[in-house]
Structure 1
Amino acid sequence: MTITYEWRGEFDNAAVNALHAEAFGHAQLPIDWQTQVHRHSLGWVCAREDVRLVGFVNVAWDGGVHAFVLDTMVAQDMRKTGVGTELVTTAAQGARAADCEWLHVDFEQHLRPFYFDACGFRPTDAGLIALR
């Protein structure tokens, strides 16, 4: 099994929508990922096994020194193989190359070991306001 990782790689909306639905356990939605990431993101990473999209992560930013990992997704059959860790590593390299100083991430409690142990994030104080 050879997985390739590409910063700002080409993708189609249908593939990301299918992967997002699988990763987050919901019905497929008609999200225009192409427009979203080209308007609002520093970059994104595509992970592929041959031509199949098996992972994706979006890297939003503030236009300056802060980048944000969003929507890390890995196909069910590829979890626990290092795909997610390599997605985040490649995202960090892309953000570093763009002269960002910080890479932020928010996550649910059950993902602590992934982000802290596997990816190297460290705990920080942060705040959140629920808008819905």
Structure 2
Amino acid sequence: GETRVKGLLKGEDVLSTIQVFRNLGVRIEEEDDQLVIEGQGFEGLTAPHQTLDMGNSGTSMRLIAGLLAGQSFEVTMSGDDSLSKRPMDRIVLPLRQMGADITGEGSRHLPPLKLKGSRELNPITYALPVASAQVKSAILLAAL
């Protein structure tokens, strides 16, 4: 369905995330002072034709990786120079345990991340070595 968002702060992270969802087939338009999003449903996302650029948003990369772990297509997720130095192993490890095929550069899985999701992810019990809302959120989104 249609969702309207008013008062959206149009920072770089938000703008990058909007473009990522557009690249995944979500219709997002600006009308006056509102953002209008035509939801596609979980199974309505489509394989992008290009690398998903997260800009400098580690939060977007981690959460969207969780969401896309449950999709049946392949994606590459990248970011700017700063994001490319931030390890993603904290999400790669649990998503792999669930059955997603996800890799980054080196042992810490630096971006870009290559992900091939699966509609049939496995349930896991996962104890986080370090508390992280982003890791918990990525696992929750993958579990949908």
Q: Same fold (TM over 0.5)?
A: no
| TM-score, length-scaled by structure 1 | 0.31
| TM-score, length-scaled by structure 2 | 0.29
- Structure 1 or 2, whichever has the larger Rg, is 2
Q: Larger % of strand: which?
A: 1
